[in-house]
Amino acid sequence: MSLIRQFQLSLISLVALLVVGLLGYHLIEELDWFDSLYMTVITLTTVGFGEVKPLSDAGRAFTVVMVLVGVGVAMWFLRNLV
């Protein structure tokens, strides 16, 4: 697979993960769209500023999956970027 194609796929995966996070926090935690985006970004960047509100058990499980998948996708994207 060409380097450009690998970069494109990793970028699409990163954007898809942002969309999944946005929808997940909006549906699971009933956050508004901006707070859902905020939670997704701080989760994927592993900044750890804290939640907008305390998360339910389902929200915490979703966050664990987002972190595990997000770190892998971010590393793949950065590898293809360099």
pLDDT, tens only, 16-64? 999 999 999 999 999 999 999 999 999 988 887 778 889 999 999 999 9
Judge whether 30 lies within some domain.
yes
- Our count of domains for the chain comes to 1
Judge whether 81 lies within some domain.
no
> pLDDT tier at 3 (50, 70, 90 boundaries)?
confident
Judge whether 82 lies within some domain.
no
What average pLDDT does the segment 58-77 reach?
Answer: 94
Full 3-state SS string of the chain: CCHHHHHHHHHHHHHHHHHHHHHHHHHHCCCCHHHHHHHHHHHHCCCCCCCCCCCCHHHHHHHHHHHHHHHHHHHHHHHHHC
pLDDT of residue 24: 98
pLDDT of residue 51: 81
CATH number, residue 33:
1.10.287.70
> pLDDT tier at 81 (50, 70, 90 boundaries)?
confident
Judge whether 62 lies within some domain.
yes
